[in-house]
């Protein structure tokens, strides 16, 4: 069975943002859960939620937590996805502060379309 399929744009009906009901994840990794789900700052102003990207590289799992508000990212690695997430959680909970890096601004990827003659 093949899982990788061509992605087709669908009409987006974005509704109100809600926290996903995942008590286990929130209990195991409260800092990461908050980064991914908090839609407001402590002062009540609106906040963009963070995102996580997973990838495999050189025989291990890697992940990047993207803090969209500030344009910074935080990396974690592990031999399993759980270890990768645990690494991020440990970094976020560290009293020394997480080693955030400024995200690199990427150029937009040129869209391929029909050749013009």
CATH code: domain 23-38+46-102 is 3.30.160
Residue 105 phi, psi (nearest 5): -75, 120
Q: What pLDDT band is residue 18 in, cutting at 50, 70 and 90?
A: low
Interhelix angle 30-37/81-93, nearest 10 degrees = 90
Distance, in Å, from the CA atom of 5 to the CA atom of 24, rounded to the nearest integer, reads: 30
| Token couple for 109 | 């990827």
> Rounded to two decimals, what is the model's pTM?
0.72
Question: Domain spans of the chain?
Answer: 23-38+46-102
Mean pLDDT for the stretch of residues 62-91: 93
Residue whose token pair is 């020394």: 96
């Amino acid at each position: 069975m093949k899982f990788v399929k061509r992605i087709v744009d669908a009409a987006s009906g974005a509704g109100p943002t809600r926290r996903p009901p995942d008590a286990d994840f929130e209990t195991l990794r409260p800092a990461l859960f908050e980064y991914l789900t908090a839609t407001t700052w402590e002062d009540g102003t609106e906040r963009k939620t963070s995102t996580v990207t997973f990838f495999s590289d050189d025989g291990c799992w890697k992940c990047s937590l993207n803090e969209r508000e500030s344009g910074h990212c935080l990396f974690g690695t592990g031999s399993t996805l759980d270890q990768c997430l645990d690494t991020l959680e440990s970094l976020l909970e560290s009293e020394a502060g997480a080693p955030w890096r400024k995200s690199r601004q990427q150029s937009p990827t040129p869209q391929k379309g029909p050749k013009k003659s």
